Amino acid sequence: MRKKLIAANWKMHKTPEQAQAFVSAFLPHVWEHTRDEIVLCPAFVALPAVVEATRDSQIGVGGQDMFWEKEGAYTGAISAPMLRAVGCSHVIIGHSERRQYFGETDETVGKRVQAALEAGLFVIACIGETEEERERNETEDVLRRQLSVLAPDDNLVLAYEPVWAIGTGKTATPEMAHEAHDFIKSQLDVPVLYGGSVKPENAAELLSRSSIDGALVGGASLDLESFTAICRAAIRS
């Protein structure tokens, strides 16, 4: 049985109190789920609450982004040492929403990944093509470009997120995801998660594919029953 990583990206949702309540209700459902790795990535303000709520459990906690400098005059930024200090083990870098709304580029993603790895964080680096790029048959070119700033590392995993499937309800078919994951692994030998409208209804089929090493879950991770079901699907796959 393959060990998988199931990561929840809560994006800009849940206050510290709401996050703590979710964890309290979630832990009894996965207390014996020790084979796979589960990581919760709340908003920055909820990190201390989630770290405390998951203490003495097997659940990891991650930030949703970070800057590459350790400190300095970078208003609004969070550094890797700050994430480590609050108790984070993981960080998401290069999510398509960061690229779309906040000007992330392949170059800045590479700098963030390097800084996170040097700080001892486990990195989930996101890659994926837009709908227009897929329609122009540019998927492999886009993935190759995004991967060019990364290098294999024991603490690095990738999350393949076709941008057209994020928050849209659309999902890459298992065959499409498998094909993309195979290509990614031919370029960079690291585990690859699938992200993009992962739901209880499709999780088992996606996670059963040999090239898919887990899932980065967005909207469905906000709901206790849905995220629990996805974690249980990982056990069965």
User: Would you say 142 and 161 are in contact if contact means Cβ atoms under 8 Å apart?
Assistant: no
- 197: phi > 0 → left, psi -120 to 50 → alpha, else beta; which? left
Domain coverage including residue 160: 5-236
Closest CA to 115 of 147, 143, 149, 141: 149
Q: Residue 103 pLDDT more than 80?
A: yes
User: Would you say 198 and 171 are in contact if contact means Cβ atoms under 8 Å apart?
Assistant: yes
Summarize pLDDT for 132-164 with one digit per residue, the tens.
998 899 999 999 999 999 999 999 999 999 988
User: Would you say 152 and 165 are in contact if contact means Cβ atoms under 8 Å apart?
Assistant: no
Closest CA to 163 of 142, 149, 191, 179: 142
Mean per-residue pLDDT for 178-190?
A: 96
**Phi, psi angle pair for 214, to nearest 5°:** 150, -165
The H-or-E segment that residue 159 falls in is strand 156-160
Q: Give the CATH number for residue 109.
A: 3.20.20.70
Counting the structural domains of the chain, the total is 1
Residues labelled catalytic: 95, 161
Summarize pLDDT for 205-237 with one digit per residue, the tens.
999 999 999 999 999 999 999 999 999 998 777
Distance CA 89, CA 106 (A): 23
